[in-house]
Structure 1
Amino acid sequence: MWVMHAPVIVAGEALIDIVVSRTGEAEHVGGSPANVAIGLSRLDHPAQLACHIGTDERGQRIEKHLAGENVGLFPGSTNAERTPTATALLGPDGAATYAFKITWEFDPQLNVPAGVHFHTGSIAAVLQPGGDGVRDVIARIHDESTISYDPNARPQLMGHPEDVQARVDELVSLSDVVKASDEDIEWIYPGEQLEDVLHKWSDLGVSVAVATRGGKGALVLVQNQLHSVSLPEVEVVDTVGAGDSFMSGILSGLLDEGLLGGPDARERLRAADWPQIQPCVARGLACAAITVARAGANPPRRVELAD
C-alpha cells in the first residue's frame, strides 16, 4: 500500500441543509461536495473545499464546522452575498427531496497545485456562472492531476436532462473516476440502461465508472468488465449523504492504493484491475452503509471501518 496520500481539493457547494421530517425541523451543514470533503478528512485524507458561502451567521457556522472536521477552506470561498440553503423533506421511507436557494460562482483561475486529486460534482458542475469556472479549472489541470466527478442530479436547479447532458458528458470525458446513482443516470440519460451509460463513460476515458443502486449495491465498470457489488445489510434511518459517503470511501481506497494524484497515479489507475479496485468499492459501500444507519449526513471515521 502507498504511504503518501495525494492531497484532495473538492470544488462545490457548501450550504445549510434545513431538514424537515415528521419530528420537526433542524439545520445542518451540508452540500454534496462539502460532505465528500468531510468524509475524506474523517478517513484521514487531507482535504480542502473550494465553495461559495457568505460571511453571515450560516456562513460562519459552515466555516466553524469545516474547521472542526479539519477541512481547509480555499481562499476566496466566502464571497457570496448570502449562504445558500437546501430544504430536505424526508419521506416515510427516509428518502430526501430538496428545494434550493443558492447562487454559485467559481474562480476559473483557481490555483491548483500539480499532483493533487480534484473532485467536483452536483450543483457546482452545472449551475452558472460557476459551472463554467469549474469546467475551465478541470480542463487546465487535467494533465497534472487526477479528477473525480459525481453528477448528483438536482432537477429543481438543472432544468431538463437535455439542458445538462452535454456538460455532464464533457466533465465525464475529463475525469478518471465517475460515480452516479441509478436515479441520477435515469434522469440524465432517460431511456438508457445503466450498463450502457457506464460503457459510454469508459469510452470517454473514465477508468472507474460506478452506478450506485441504493440497497442493491453498485455496478462498477473496470477494464471494460462489469461487476456487481452488494451493499452490507443495514437498517436504514435515512439516506441523506449516503452517496457522498460512498464517494469519499471509494476515493479513500484509491488514495490508499496510490491510484490518485499526479500523472503517474493516473497511469497506475488506468492499469489497475478488479482485484485492486474491488476493496476501494467495498470501502465506499461500507461508508454508505454506516451513514444510512444513522441520521443525517454523518460519514464514518476510519476507525469505524472493518478494514
Structure 2
Amino acid sequence: MTAPGRQGSALVIGEALVDVVIHPGQEPVDIPGGSPANVALGLARLGRDAELHCWIGTDERGKAVRAHLEASGVRLAAGADGAERTSTAQATIGEDRAATYLFDLDWNPPRPNLTDGDSPLLVHTGSIAAILAPGAATVEQVLRETRATSTIAYDPNARPQLMGEPEDARRIVERLVALSDLVKCSDEDIAWLYGEDADLESVLRSWLEKGAAIVVVTRGKKGALALSASGVRLEVPADPSVVVADTVGAGDSFMGGLEDALWSEDLVGADRREALRAVDAETLERIVRHAAAIADITVSRAGANPPTRDELP
C-alpha cells in the first residue's frame, strides 16, 4: 500500500543497538533495537523513505542490526558503522510484561552529510542520543541546522541509568523541546524529569510555551493526552481489548505513528509549520488514534516489531 502524503524523506538520528531480551525463565535473545532505530523501522514499514544516522560497529551484532533495518527498507547513513562495538541494552521482561533496561552504550557519531536541496521533510531524534555526550552535541547541531527546512520531532524517552540527574537532563530536554514541532513522551518520562507529583498537563503546556506545536503524553492503560498550540486538548483512551505480549518498542511505534500521520495530513516540512501549529481537533484526533492503533499492534506481539501499512485496521 502506498504511503499517502508528499514525496520526501525522514532523517532519524540516534542510537541503534541490540536488545538482549530476557523473559522470565527463558534464555536471553538478541533482538536489534534502540529507540530511534525503532522509529526509523516503523516509518519504513509504513512506506516512508527513512534514513538512520546511528553509531554501530561492523561486529556480528552490528551486522545483525544493519540486516534487520535494511530488510524493512531503512537506509543507514554513510559512516553509521564506525563504532568499535555495537551497543547493547539488556531488556528484562517482568511478570507484568513491562521491560526494564540496562545499557552498554557508545554514542559518538560523525556529523551527517546534509546537502543543500536534499533536505528531509522530517527529522526525528530522542532518548539516549539526545542526552549522552559526546554525540548529543551532534544531535542538537543537526536539529538547529535542519529546522529551517524540516519538521522536528523529539521523544525524550528518559533512561535514568544513562542521563545523570533529572535536573541536568531536564535542561537539555527543554532546550530540545524549544527546537521541536512535535514532542511525544510518557507519563514515566515526566515523573522522572519533573518529579512524581508533577502535573502532566502543566508540563505539556510549558512545552507548548517553549515553541512546540503538538505535545503528546502516553499514560499506559489511561491512554494518550495531546495538547496543541492551537488550543486543542484531546484524550484518546486505551483499547481495553488489546492483549499485551510486552511493551518493548511501544512508545517508539506510537511516535512513528504520530509522524506518519502528520505526513499523511500534509503537515511535514518547515513550509507546513504554521499549518501544524493551527491543527484542528478533528485532525489531531486522527493523528493520535493512528499512532495508538500502530502501538497496539506492536504490544500485541513480542519485541519491537511494528506493523506494515497493510497490517493497519
TM-score, structure 2 as length reference: 0.94
Q: Does 1:258 align with 2:266?
A: yes
Rounded to whole Å, the distance in 2 between the matches of 1:295 and 1:177 is 28
Q: Does 1:125 align with 2:130?
A: yes
Question: In structure 2, which of residues 76, 82, 86 is the aligned counterpart of residue 83 of structure 1?
Answer: 86
Cα deviation, residue 106, structure 1: 2.8
The residue number in structure 2 matching 1:42 is 45
Rounded to whole Å, the distance in 2 between the matches of 1:3 and 1:153 is 31
Cα deviation, residue 162, structure 1: 1.2
Question: In structure 1, which of residues 213, 236, 239 is the aligned counterpart of residue 219 of structure 2?
Answer: 213
List gaps (5 residues or longer) in structure 2: none
Cα deviation, residue 237, structure 1: 1.1
Secondary structure, counterpart of 1:123 in structure 2: helix
The residue number in structure 1 matching 2:310 is 303
Secondary structure, counterpart of 2:272 in structure 1: helix
Rounded to whole Å, the distance in 1 between the matches of 2:54 and 2:4 is 30
Rounded to whole Å, the distance in 1 between the matches of 2:109 and 2:63 is 19
Secondary structure, counterpart of 1:290 in structure 2: helix
Cα deviation, residue 277, structure 1: 1.6
Task: Tell me the amino acid that sits aligned with residue 19 of structure 1.
Answer: V
Cα deviation, residue 135, structure 1: 0.4
Secondary structure, counterpart of 2:44 in structure 1: helix
Secondary structure, counterpart of 1:157 in structure 2: coil
The residue number in structure 1 matching 2:141 is 136
Q: How does 1:113-192 map to 2 (within 5 A)?
A: 113-190=118-195, 191-192=197-198
Cα deviation, residue 96, structure 1: 0.6
Cα deviation, residue 278, structure 1: 1.1
Gap change, CA 1:130 and 1:273, over 3 Å in 2? same
Rounded to whole Å, the distance in 1 between the matches of 2:67 and 2:258 is 26
Cα deviation, residue 250, structure 1: 1.1
The residue number in structure 2 matching 1:247 is 255
Rounded to whole Å, the distance in 1 between the matches of 2:311 and 2:223 is 20
Q: Deviations over 1:245-281 (max 9, x none)?
A: 10111111110111012x2221221121121121111
Secondary structure, counterpart of 2:18 in structure 1: strand
Poorly superposed stretches of 4+, deviation over 4 Å: none
User: How many residues get paired?
Assistant: 305
Rounded to whole Å, the distance in 2 between the matches of 1:232 and 1:304 is 17
Q: How does 1:184-203 map to 2 (within 5 A)?
A: 184-190=189-195, 191-203=197-209
Cα deviation, residue 115, structure 1: 4.6
Rounded to whole Å, the distance in 1 between the matches of 2:87 and 2:309 is 30
The residue number in structure 2 matching 1:7 is 9
Secondary structure, counterpart of 2:56 in structure 1: coil
List gaps (5 residues or longer) in structure 1: none
Gap change, CA 1:110 and 1:189, over 3 Å in 2? farther
Rounded to whole Å, the distance in 2 between the matches of 1:99 and 1:175 is 28
Task: Tell me the amino acid that sits aligned with residue 86 of structure 1.
Answer: A
Q: Does 1:105 align with 2:108?
A: yes
Task: Please say if residues 178 and 210 of structure 2, whose CA atoms lie closer than 8 Å, have aligned partners that are also in contact.
Answer: yes
Cα deviation, residue 143, structure 1: 1.4
Rounded to whole Å, the distance in 1 between the matches of 2:29 and 2:107 is 24
Q: Deviations over 1:130-158 (max 9, x none)?
A: 00110011112211111000000000011
Rounded to whole Å, the distance in 2 between the matches of 1:15 and 1:3 is 30
Secondary structure, counterpart of 1:41 in structure 2: helix
Secondary structure, counterpart of 1:137 in structure 2: helix
The residue number in structure 1 matching 2:238 is 231
Gap change, CA 1:221 and 1:168, over 3 Å in 2? same
Cα deviation, residue 160, structure 1: 1.4
Task: Please say if residues 106 and 134 of structure 1, whose CA atoms lie closer than 8 Å, have aligned partners that are also in contact.
Answer: no
Cα deviation, residue 63, structure 1: 1.1
Rounded to whole Å, the distance in 1 between the matches of 2:294 and 2:221 is 13
The percentage of counterpart residues that share the same residue type is 49
Gap change, CA 1:94 and 1:4, over 3 Å in 2? same
